[in-house]
C-alpha cells in the first residue's frame, strides 16, 4: 500500500533529514513512526502527501509513484490528522467534517448520510453537534472531529502526526481505545507519528524506530520489545521492555503454549478470566501480593497461574521470534 524505496531528504544541501529509508506498510496496517526529536519521523510522514518533497528515492502508493500523480489527487485519497486538530474555527462541525466531500462534489444527501455515520462512529450525536463550532467543544471532542474529517471521503490512507499528544493522559487513553475500535471497523492503512513508546506498543501493528534520519528497526511490537536489533533500540524501548511486552498477550495466549499450575487450595486466591492481559496478571501477582491466581473460563476453573508460568511463556515467545 505504501512503499518507501531509498527515500532521502536533504535541506539546504547540507542537513540530512532522511537517509535511504526502505519501508513497506501493508494495506490495513498501522505503522507507528517513533524516535527522538529531530529523527525525521514527521518529515517522512509529510513526504507521503507531498507537504515535503523528497531529495531522492521513490514513494509508491497503490503501485503508483507519487511523483507521477497530481498532488491534489494524492491528498484527496489521504486523511490527515495533526496534534492541533486543524479545525476551521469559523465553520460548523458539519462543514468541518464534510469539507473534502464538498470539494469532491458530493450531493447534500450523500454528505448528510456520511456525516451521521462518522459522528456515530466517533461516539458523538450528529444532531447535537452538527451546528456547533470548534470552540464549543472540549479538546478531546475536537480531536474526535479531526479524525472524522480525515475519514470523511473514505480515504484508503491515514496520516496521523501525534494526534493525541496534546491531551491529558486520561482522555488520551480513551481516544487511543476509540481509534483502535474505529480501525478494527474501517481498516485503513495508517502512518502514525508518536513520541510515546507505550502508545506505539498499544497502537501499532508495526513500529518503525528512527534515529538521525535512519531506520533503526521496523518490526512488530513483540519483536521490537523482545528482540531489539541493537543497543540504541534496546535503550530507547527501556529497561522495562519485557514488562511492556506483557501488554501484547493475554492468558488465552499463554494457555495455548504452556501448562498452568495444578489446582491447589483456592481459598483467598482471586480468580481471573482468560481474556486478561498478562500485564494485568503480573501486576496482581507482584503488587497485590498474591502468589497464584485461579484462571477461569465461564466459571470453570482451568488451573493456577504464577510468575514462573508467565516467565516460561515469555521465554518461549522470545525463541519463536528468533
Segments making up each domain of the chain, as ranges? 2-239, 249-320
Beta bridge partners of 58: 5
Q: DSSP per residue over 35-68, as a string?
A: -STTSSHHHHHHHHTTSS--SEEEEEETTEEGGG
pLDDT at 155: 93
Query: What are the per-10-residue average pLDDT scores of the chain (322 residues)?
Result: 96 92 97 96 95 95 90 88 88 96 93 96 94 94 93 94 87 90 94 95 97 97 96 94 95 96 78 94 88 90 94 95 85
Residue 69 DSSP one-character state: S
Residues whose CB falls within 8 Å of the CB of residue 52, separated by 6 or more in sequence, listed in order: 9, 43, 46
pLDDT at 113: 96
Contact 25, 32 (CB under 8 A): no
pLDDT at 171: 86
pLDDT at 39: 95
How far does Cα 96 stand from its chain's mean position? 24
d(CA 164, CA 184): 18
* Class level of CATH domain 2-239: alpha beta
pLDDT at 276: 96
How far does Cα 27 stand from its chain's mean position? 14
pLDDT at 32: 98
Q: DSSP per residue over 92-123, as a string?
A: -HHHHHTHHHHHTT--HHHHHHHHHHHHHHTT
Please give the grid coordinates belonging to residue 259. Answer: 501448562
The single residue listed with the C-alpha cell 539546504 is 12
> What does CATH list as the number for 249-320?
3.90.1280.20
pLDDT at 49: 92
pLDDT at 6: 98
Question: Model pTM?
Answer: 0.91
Instruction: Say if 2-239 and 249-320 have the same CATH topology.
Output: no
Amino acid at each position: 500500500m505504501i512503499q518507501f524505496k531509498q527515500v532521502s531528504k536533504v535541506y539546504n544541501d547540507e542537513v540530512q533529514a532522511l537517509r535511504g529509508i526502505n519501508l513497506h506498510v501493508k494495506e490495513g496496517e498501522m505503522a507507528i513512526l517513533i524516535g527522538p526529536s529531530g529523527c525525521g519521523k514527521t518529515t517522512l510522514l509529510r513526504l507521503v502527501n507531498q507537504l515535503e518533497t523528497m531529495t531522492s528515492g521513490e514513494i509508491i502508493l497503490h503501485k503508483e509513484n507519487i511523483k507521477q500523480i497530481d498532488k491534489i489527487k494524492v491528498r484527496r485519497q489521504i486523511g490527515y490528522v495533526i496534534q492541533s486538530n486543524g479545525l476551521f474555527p469559523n465553520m460548523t462541525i458539519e462543514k468541518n467534517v464534510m469539507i473534502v466531500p464538498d470539494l469532491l462534489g458530493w450531493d447534500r444527501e450523500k454528505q448528510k448520510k456520511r456525516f451521521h455515520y462518522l459522528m456515530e462512529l466517533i461516539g458523538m450525536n450528529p444532531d447535537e453537534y452538527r451546528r456547533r463550532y470548534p470552540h464549543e467543544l472540549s479538546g478531546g471532542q475536537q480531536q474526535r472531529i479531526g479524525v472524522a474529517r480525515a475519514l470523511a471521503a473514505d480515504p484508503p490512507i491515514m496520516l496521523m502526526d501525534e494526534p493525541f499528544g496534546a491531551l491529558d493522559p486520561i482522555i488520551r487513553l480513551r481516544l487511543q481505545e476509540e481509534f483502535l475500535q474505529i480501525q478494527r471497523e474501517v481498516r485503513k492503512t495508517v502512518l502514525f507519528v508518536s513520541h510515546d513508546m507505550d502508545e506505539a506498543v498499544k497502537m501499532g501493528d508495526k513500529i518503525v524506530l528512527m534515529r538521525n534520519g535512519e531506520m533503526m528497526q521496523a518490526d512488530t511490537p513483540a519483536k521490537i520489545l523482545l528482540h531489539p536489533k541493537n543497543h540504541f533500540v534496546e535503550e530507547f524501548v527501556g529497561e522495562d521492555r519485557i514488562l511492556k511486552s506483557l501488554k501484547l498477550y493475554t492468558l488465552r495466549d499463554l494457555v495455548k503454549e504452556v501448562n498452568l499450575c495444578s489446582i491447589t487450595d483456592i481459598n483467598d486466591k482471586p480468580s481471573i478470566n482468560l481474556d486478561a492481559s498478562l500485564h494485568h496478571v503480573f501486576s496482581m501477582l507482584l503488587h497485590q501480593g498474591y502468589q497464584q491466581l485461579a484462571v477461569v473460563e465461564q466459571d470453570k476453573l482451568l488451573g493456577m497461574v504464577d510468575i514462573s508460568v508467565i516467565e516460561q511463556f515469555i521465554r518461549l515467545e522470545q525463541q519463536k521470534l528468533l
